[in-house]
Amino acid sequence: MQASAILIVLLCLLLAGGLWIAFTLGIVAWAGVAFFSTTRPEINLFTSYWNTYSSLSLASLPMFIWMGEILFRTRLAEQMFAGLAPWLDKLPGRLLHVNVIGCGIFGAVSGSSAATCATIAKISLPELAKRGYDQRLSLGSLCGAGTLGILIPPSIAMIVYAVAADVSIIRMFLAGIVPGVMLLLFFSGYIVFWALRHPERMPPQSFRMGFWERVKATRSLIPVFLLIVFVFLSMLTGFATANEASAFGVLGALVVAALGRTLTLKTFLDSLSGALRMACMIMFILGAASFLTVAMGFTGIPRALAEWVVSLHLSPFALIAVLTVVYVALGCALDGVSMIVLTTAVVLPMVQAAGFDPVWFGIYIVIMIELAQISPPVGFNLFVLQGMSGESILTIAKASIPFFLLLVASVVLIVAFPGIVTWFPQLVMGRA
């Protein structure tokens, strides 16, 4: 255990010093192989990076990121508000539901929590304030629903976990659908509950449209809906692999942008540049994480930790409770991708030994990342909304508490009923 203590201290020191996570993982891995094994670290480094980057599973990552970047630069957020608002104005809570459903839709094309939260907030916050909606509930619903960007597939975090844990990307995508819809219903349900309890704080109905007028207002969303449906169905029916579906997604996003007259040379180059930066950052981290996994194998840290956990005689539920505390704490200092690659190699063997499905655990980690996104004092969505609304972090954090508790409730539900996560992938793909 001396080796593990030294490497953990080194890891903490490098992270505290502000070094990039990819460099931190690589340095710790190099030290582990160089000082606690008899092999040459440079050989393991080259092999680890090559094995990671030559994996076909990673080919879909930059393409799905590019698909989101293209649509991010269209008028999708404006079209969603204009198209959804007339249909939701009669529900208790009225246009506040646009925050939740809009985040769910945009999450399906962006794969990023921060991008989802910022994009929908840019349009909905001014509109809701102008119509007299409760500012606190507007902020809370945006903060909570913005996390759907990494749970509703295709999700960047899911692809990273699938590569790190060596599980099927398509199975991960399928596993996220039911929990994603469940959380969407939870968030909208809370808005309905709040609106029924405080009818005096709800503005009057603002849309007076007939059925066909509403359909006409929604028609701009049809291409995006068709693109999302096509990408999913192409994977589910076996027409395309995840890699091929991601390429279809990029092509479809370009067509949608062209139809919306937002595809210019500048937006094309900006989307390509944004996707390249994010994909390179994630792949750099994944390569370093792969090297760290090899180093841990030589040092015996995962085995020692697993034996230590076994010696504690924790029940499976107690293990998950401990991991929940650990992940919420990590979320105060690390982004979601870093949380996944930093912990998967160590934690996954223990979780599998406790009888949990690796795909189920991937969804659990994604929800933990969602919790971290809205956890004070450093939840990233809190900072996004602070910059866009001008409200204090404390005000936004208080507004997000009900939605934070709903995320905690979803964790309890998937732990108590793991079939919520595993049922749909098994239905579509079987147990293989």
From first to last of its 432 residues, what are the pLDDT tens digits of the chain? 566 677 778 877 887 777 777 788 788 888 888 887 777 888 878 887 887 777 776 777 788 778 777 877 777 666 777 777 777 777 787 778 888 888 887 777 666 676 677 777 777 788 788 878 888 888 888 888 888 877 887 777 888 888 888 888 888 988 988 998 999 999 999 999 998 888 888 777 666 666 677 777 677 777 877 887 888 788 777 787 777 888 888 888 888 888 878 888 888 898 888 888 877 877 787 777 778 777 776 766 656 665 666 677 778 888 888 888 878 777 665 667 777 877 787 788 888 878 889 999 999 988 988 887 787 655 667 777 777 777 777 888 888 889 889 999 999 999 989 999 999 888 877 655
For residues 428 and 174, the answer to whether their CB atoms sit within 8 Å is: yes
C-alpha triplet 145, 148, 153: angle, nearest 5°? 160
Dmax (CA) of the chain: 75
Three-state secondary structure call for residue 214: helix
**Torsion sign across C-alpha atoms 370, 371, 374, 379:** negative
**Residue 413, pLDDT score:** 93
Residues 6+ apart with CB under 8 A from 46: none
d(CA 225, CA 253): 11
Q: Is the dihedral of CA 386, 391, 392, 396 positive or negative?
A: negative
Backbone angles phi, psi at 90, to 5 degrees: -95, -10
Tokens read off for 227: 């693109």
| DSSP annotation of 239 | S
DSSP 163-192: HHHT--HHHHHHHHHHHHHHHHHHHHHHHH
Own/partner pairs for 11-19, CB < 8 Å, 24+ apart? 15/333, 15/334
Pairwise CA distance, residues 399 & 401, whole Å:
6
* Cα 390 to chain centroid, rounded: 25
Q: Helices marked H in 198-241 — which ranges?
A: 211-218, 222-236
Dist CA 104 CA 153 (whole Å)? 10
Taking the model in full, what pTM does it have? 0.76
DSSP string, 99-136: HHHHHHHHHHHH--HHHHHHHHHHHHHHHHHHTT--HH
Other beta carbons within 10 angstroms of residue 237's beta carbon come to 9
**Residue 209, helix vs strand vs coil:** coil
Total length of the chain:
432
Q: Which of 91, 93, 90, 305 is nearest to 190 (CA)?
A: 93
Dig out the tokens for 253 from the structure: 């996003």
Nearest partner of 183 among 227, 147, 235, judged by Cα: 147
pLDDT of residue 305: 60
Tokens at residue 404, please? Answer: 């934070």
Q: How far apart are CA 202 and CA 195, in angstroms?
A: 7
Distance, first Cα to last Cα, the chain: 37
Non-local CB neighbours of 373 within 8 Å, separated by 6+ positions: 113, 114, 146, 147, 150, 331, 336, 379, 380, 381
Burial of 91 (0-12, 13-18, 19+ CB in 10 A): middle
Cβ atoms within 10 A of the Cβ of 253, count?
A: 28
Task: Show the tokens assigned to 348.
Answer: 């996954």
pLDDT of residue 190: 92
Paired tokens of 60: 């879909």
